[in-house]
Amino acid sequence: MDYFENKNNFSKKIFIFIFTVLFIFYIFFIPILISELNKSDIFHEMSKIEKVYDYGVVFGAGLTKNGEPSDVLKDRLRTANDLYRGGKIVRILVSGDNRFENYNEPDVMKNYLVDVLGIEEKNIVVDYAGRRTYDTCVRAKNVFQIDNAILITQEYHLFRALFLCKSFGIDSIGFSATLQPYVKDALFKFRELVAIHKAFLDVYVWEPDYIK
């Protein structure tokens, strides 16, 4: 009896050890791995981008109480405008949340590009179901048939965005829209650490449905 109890205890210890190693690998090394694989595709200067991309993809980042783009979102839109004016992208996809009657992030983004920055409306494509980065990337490929793009968002978000868009077959690079310090910068970066783990599971484990 003691032999079987000892054997079971040993098996449990082995299982706990393997589980612990895998958990530590997942928690600590997945973000490092994704960052290392994508950091060479993040740009800060337009002169370093060697070709013209069909699209610039702008990810939603919230609206103010007055219905205007947040500071984070304004910087993404201004960066998209710079890339468009600089001849690095042909069109702009704005993707955001439109789940609620009085909250239309994509239209606010489009209107800011058109009315404030003066971009021709015909060169702006609107995605009304970009509730999160996963949705934006998978829909960019499967709904809007985008094959290549510059992803436009703050640098801390670019690693996840690049990982997701590349996973769905989009030839993509990232351009940093970090133009200033942000009030909730520490919170954004902490949230990104959690979100990047979920992105890994979304791609390789869960493969959640997206909104068509």
* Site of tokens 């439109």: 98
- CA pair distance 65, 67, nearest whole angstrom: 5
Would residue 23 count as lying in a domain?
no
Would residue 26 count as lying in a domain?
no
H-run or E-run covering 94? strand 89-95
Least confident segment among 18-27, 68-77, 127-136: 18-27
CATH code of residue 186: 3.40.50.620
Model confidence at 36, pLDDT cuts 50, 70, 90, reads confident
Would residue 117 count as lying in a domain?
yes
Judged against a pLDDT cut of 50, whether residue 212 lies above it is answered with: no
| Neighbour count for residue 212 (Cβ, 10 Å) | 7
Would residue 35 count as lying in a domain?
no
Domain that holds residue 132: 42-206
Would residue 104 count as lying in a domain?
yes
Could you give the number of structural domains in the chain? 1
Would residue 188 count as lying in a domain?
yes
Would residue 10 count as lying in a domain?
no
- Summarize pLDDT for 65-119 with one digit per residue, the tens: 899 999 999 999 999 999 999 999 999 999 999 887 788 999 999 999 999 999 9
Would residue 28 count as lying in a domain?
no
- Summarize pLDDT for 41-64 with one digit per residue, the tens: 999 999 999 999 999 999 999 999
The number of residues making up the chain comes to 212
